[in-house]
Amino acid sequence: MNRSRSKLVAFAGLVIAVVVLVVAMVGGGALTAPTTTPEPGPASSSAAAVANPSTLPTINASQLPKEARQTLALIAEGGPYPYKEDDGNFGNFEGLLPKKSGGFYKEYTVITPGKQNRGARRIIVGKDAAKYYTADHYESFKFIVEGK
């Protein structure tokens, strides 16, 4: 009787180990602590700091028009956006932003009060999370420093 009991305990231990592994594999959680470290900076900041990859002048996000700050919030939330063109590819045909492959940049409308159309203001976002503001429809850009 003792022998069959120890076999049953060993079998139960094996079943538990397999269940734990299956749960971990299908997203039930990690078996070890994560190896990444959190980003430095204030915990209240919703945007991670991105270094300016360009030689363009900078502008603090807090200095942008309120409509541009609203657009930044929409981008962070993933939309919905006010125009169908928003979240579409920006070609950088003017060559003012750092040269990247096609599809690297997305553009978003910054609403201009009093305009019936999209107006000239845009925010451009790169796949590297760098963001740029133009108030003059791509004639000039400023790199957006978020969290300031």
Residues labelled catalytic: 107, 137
Structure tokens at 111: 């609403």
Structure letter (DSSP) for residue 26: T
Q: Give the pairing of strands 122-126 and 88-90.
A: unpaired
How many other C-beta atoms lie within 10 A of the C-beta of residue 18? 10
Which alpha helices (H) appear in 60-120, and where do they start and end? 66-77
- The helix/strand/coil state of 4 is helix
Q: How many residues does the chain have?
A: 148
- Gap between the Cα atoms of 104 and 100, Å rounded: 6
Six-digit token pair at 76? 């962070």
Name the DSSP class of 98: P
